[in-house]
Amino acid sequence: MTSATSFLFFAIHLACISTGNSSETFVKLECEEEYHGVYGQQSLLQCIVKAVQNVTILTVTWKRVGGDGDAPLLEYHKHANASTLGFKFAEPSWNKDNMNVSLWLTNTKMADKGEYECMVRTDSGDATATISLSVTAMYKSPTMSSSPENCIKQNTDVTIFCNSTGGHQTGLIWWFDEFGANCTGSAELVAKKTDDTLFSLSSKLTVLKATYSGSTNYSCTVHNTNGVQEGKASFEIPFVCSAGSKDDFASDSTTQWLAPVGVIGSLVIGLLAALLIFKRRSVQRARRQSTFPLMTHLWSSRTSEPYLNLTVDYINEDWKL
């Protein structure tokens, strides 16, 4: 049993040595099988050179499989780098002793999706591997607005918009009120293709006779064509004016109580003015007629009445002028 297994191992070992005449077995290129890129973002196609001993990299070539011509996207050859705009070594200062030969796409586009091939030649052998890149475009978080924009009166119809851009296929927008009810059925969705192969979505929900007592907070969610949610936003119906005062009834009642306040205010001011004029006149009269009786009366009560005390001071002040 044991002799049989050890013989088997010996045989396998021999076989390996005999077939391993090529140096290729000493160098391997380990790449991720696929990478899911996102439109407008960076992508990393990761490949690492694995060798049983220290090796020196002679050339590295990154190409699109089935791409236009043989032009490499990135090439290291004879100590020189050449690359197409937007493609570079992932390692910032890559050199021939760095086994991380990953490719970096600085700004992933829809057209970048496909198969990529990495070829490495070293002083101990060559290796090639492929990696596939898929690119999706995500819808951005939606923005919401309403028509009318604000100062919405109770019992009027309000149209709420939920807009999003950036998807690469027609997406969906779902609506929910603050109680969690699905109001998507009452909404209208318009999808438009924007110039750079992406879509913009605009969905409008009309809330009939909006009131404080109903739902005042609506949410919308953006989904890609497979139904996966990519964004969410919520919106409070702006019953309040941007100036900060409350709407219809609030402003109505404001005018209702503002009028009496104005009348009372002006009455009070008038009364005060009359009082002041009256006082000044009496003081002047006192001055002119050298009114000892008034003065003596005030002086005599100085100690007993604090209010009169003040009055005296006022008169004295006036006297100096």
Ligand X SMILES: *[C@@H]1O[C@H](CO)[C@@H](O)[C@H](O)[C@H]1NC(C)=O
Q: Which is nearer to ligand X, 48 or 308 (CB)?
A: 48
- Which is nearer to ligand X, 144 or 298 (by Cβ)? 144
Residue with smaller CB distance to ligand X, 186 or 256: 186
Cβ neighbours of 133 (radius 10 Å): 20
Distance CA 230, CA 201 (A): 13
Q: Would you say 89 or 286 has its CB closer to ligand X?
A: 89
CA-to-CA separations, 89 to 37, 140, 170, 243, in angstroms, rounded: 17, 29, 34, 55
Name the site residues for ligand X (rule: CB under 6 A). Answer: 44, 46, 48, 53-54, 90-91, 100, 102, 143-145, 161, 163, 174, 178, 182, 184-185, 202, 217, 219, 234, 236
Nearer to ligand X, 163 or 298 (CB): 163
| Residue 129 C-beta: closest distance to ligand X, Å | 14
Using CA atoms, how far apart are residues 238 and 235, in angstroms rounded to an integer?
9
Scanning the structure block, which residue is given the tokens 């009366």? 297
| Packing angle, helices 306-320 and 248-288, rounded to 10 | 70
Instruction: Please report how close the Cβ of residue 112 comes to ligand X at its closest, in angstroms.
Output: 18
* Alpha-carbon span 155 to 108, nearest angstrom: 49
Contacts of 49 (CB under 8 A, 6+ apart): 27, 28, 29, 30, 55, 57, 99, 100, 101, 120, 122, 127
The CA-CA-CA angle for residues 56, 57, 59, to 5°, reads 155
Tell me the closest approach of the beta carbon of residue 257 to ligand X, in angstroms: 28
What minimum distance in Å lies between the beta carbon of 211 and ligand X? 16
Helix orientation angle between 292-300 and 306-320, rounded to the nearest 10 degrees = 140
CB of 307 to ligand X, least distance (A): 54
Shortest separation between residue 188's beta carbon and ligand X, angstroms: 10
Residue 39 or 239: the one with the smaller Cβ distance to ligand X is 239
